[in-house]
Amino acid sequence: MLEKLAPDFFVRSVYDLDLDTLSAKGIRAIITDLDNTLVSWDDPLPNAGLQDWLKIVRGKGFSVYIVSNNSPERVRKFAKAFGVPAISKAVKPRRRAFRLACEEMGVTLAETAVIGDQIFTDVLGGNRLGVYTILVNPVSRREFFGTKIMRKLEGLILRQLNRRGLLKGPGNNSK
Ligand SMILES: [Mg+2]
């Protein structure tokens, strides 16, 4: 069970993604979480830095898709401003929304990476599908009430993963 919660790689933020390394792995599509992965959960719009990042990512030939558990109102507004297709109310870690995003991008699971800040939704969901999973540190400490509770449990799991050497990458600060 613990292995299913282990990300393939752990970075500080989306800005730290090594796009050339992902390309070399055959990955050409990125499914990203929204809240606390791209911006903080109460930030309604993408900032200029994130828009620049998207240009770089697309310039390297990657397709980008947002898969979020948040509401249609929140996700639609952000995704429209960002210019990226999105699925809201995705019910991650269920696999359906990830599969749909891959289908719409016209890529296989092996060509896809899932990126997010939560191991019980983003990482577990991606691992259940066998795609390459990348954990990021949350953008902000400000969080939705329900997420705060999950973070306590997540902290326990992250310590376990770290102890077993299953948290590889520069996002792991506990080394
Ligand atoms: Mg998130």
pLDDT in tens, the chain (175 residues): 889 999 999 999 999 999 999 999 999 999 999 999 999 988 999 999 999 999 999 999 999 999 999 999 999 999 999 999 999 999 999 999 999 999 999 999 999 999 999 999 999 999 999 999 999 999 987 777 777 788 888 999 999 999 999 999 999 887 5
Structure-token pair, residue 46: 């993408």
Cα 92 to ligand 1 centroid, rounded to whole Å = 10
Cα 63 to ligand 1 centroid, rounded to whole Å = 20
What single-letter DSSP state applies at residue 29? E
Residue ranges with strand state E in the chain: 9-11, 29-32, 63-67, 86-87, 112-116, 132-136
User: Model's pTM, two decimal places?
Assistant: 0.94
33: amino acid identity, one letter? D
Cα 137 to ligand 1 centroid, rounded to whole Å = 10
Cα 34 to ligand 1 centroid, rounded to whole Å = 6
Cα 157 to ligand 1 centroid, rounded to whole Å = 17
Cα 33 to ligand 1 centroid, rounded to whole Å = 6
Identify the structural domains of the chain with CATH numbers, from first to last. 2-163 (3.40.50.1000)
Cα 37 to ligand 1 centroid, rounded to whole Å = 5
36: amino acid identity, one letter? N
CA distances from 60 to 33, 76, 111, 115, 166 (A): 20, 25, 14, 17, 29
Task: Order across the sheet with 9-11: list the strands.
Answer: 9-11, 132-136, 112-116, 29-32, 63-67, 86-87
Cα 103 to ligand 1 centroid, rounded to whole Å = 22
Chain length of the chain:
175
